[in-house]
Amino acid sequence: MGPEVLGSILHQCSKTRSFRHGFSLHDIAIKMCFISNIIISNHVLNTYAKCGKIEYARQVFDEMSERNVVSWSAMIYGYDQAGRALNAVQLFSQMKVEQTNEFVFASTVSACASLLAVDVGKRIHLQSVVLGYADVSFVSNSLVSMYSFERKTIAYNTIIIGLVENEQVQKAYVMFQLMLYSKFNLIEDAEKIFWSIEEKYMISWNTFTVVCCHALDHAKGLSVFSKMIKTHSLTPDDFTYTSAKSTNHSAKLQLSFSVKI
């Protein structure tokens, strides 16, 4: 079996998130001395990242004698998708800016949104503009989501303060819980809180849609969006459409990134 065949099989493992087979093929790559091939190493790295085995992925990344933009992209993307947003931003800061691509920027901006680190995101936004990536759909959608998160946080604070001032402490606490679970992508806890809210504000619907997106449960996110319109007869606002678009965008980003690797 040559490196081309091995690379092709590893690519399929990353697409199907088959950790067990990918792990076995990694072992074969080492024994056949193919692991020094940057293409093979990238496939192994990407397989581990897609399977959520971030420590395995990082070990492969650290042991690579040579890295290219695909290596950095896979690792940063893996961190972001695994909820390790801080690691994603830290790794981005170690890159030479001229070595980045649209996938690196999209994943890093997404990580900034998760951290609510809008100031850092703004600097990365500027870099993407200078390098001509800001208008790429993946990057622009991530930027829209990041700035929307900033507005959402301000809106949450306003609602919580308003509820407290009107002596509706229990409702304020529930809204605070939803905001907290949203920030840390705790989808099961967020879902319980969400459905327990008797009077759901538009921001509640928007937030839970975004939580679904971050947890990679895109079907549930779109289902919530649909239920909001059909069952509750609510009129979506700009953030609602942004949230639904982000859910679709994340699914497409996963697919496109898999193809690019």
| Predicted pLDDT at 29 | 92
- Number of Cβ within 10 Å of residue 151's Cβ equals 14
- Give the separation between CA 238 and CA 172, rounded to whole angstroms: 24
Band (pLDDT 50/70/90 cuts) for residue 114 is confident
Which range of 71-75, 125-129, 137-141, 172-176 scores highest in mean pLDDT? It is 71-75
Q: List helix spans (H) across 17-100.
A: 19-31, 38-50, 54-63, 69-81, 85-93
For the segment 11-66, what is each residue's pLDDT rounded down to a tens digit?
888 888 889 998 999 999 999 899 899 999 999 999 999 999 999 999 999 999 89
- Give the separation between CA 40 and CA 104, rounded to whole angstroms: 20
Structure tokens at 192: 């319980």
Instruction: Give the residue with greater pLDDT, 188 vs 249.
Output: 188
Query: Is the Cβ–Cβ distance between 70 and 261 less than 8 Å?
Result: yes
User: Does the global pTM surpass 0.95?
Assistant: no
Instruction: Give the residue with greater pLDDT, 148 vs 18.
Output: 18
Average pLDDT over residues 207-217: 69
- Give the separation between CA 230 and CA 84, rounded to whole angstroms: 35
What percentage of the chain has pLDDT greater than the value 70?
A: 69
Main-chain phi, psi angles of 133, to 5 degrees: -100, -10
Band (pLDDT 50/70/90 cuts) for residue 260 is very low
Instruction: Give the residue with greater pLDDT, 230 vs 83.
Output: 83
Query: Is the Cβ–Cβ distance between 182 and 194 less than 8 Å?
Result: no
Query: Mean pLDDT in the chain?
Result: 78
Q: Where are the domains of the chain?
A: 1-67, 145-251
Q: Which residues of 202-222 are buried (b: 16+ CB within 10 A; e: fewer)?
A: ebbbbbbbbbbbbbbbbebbb
Structure tokens at 158: 């306003």
| Predicted pLDDT at 131 | 87
Structure tokens at 169: 């402490």
| Predicted pLDDT at 258 | 44
Band (pLDDT 50/70/90 cuts) for residue 227 is confident
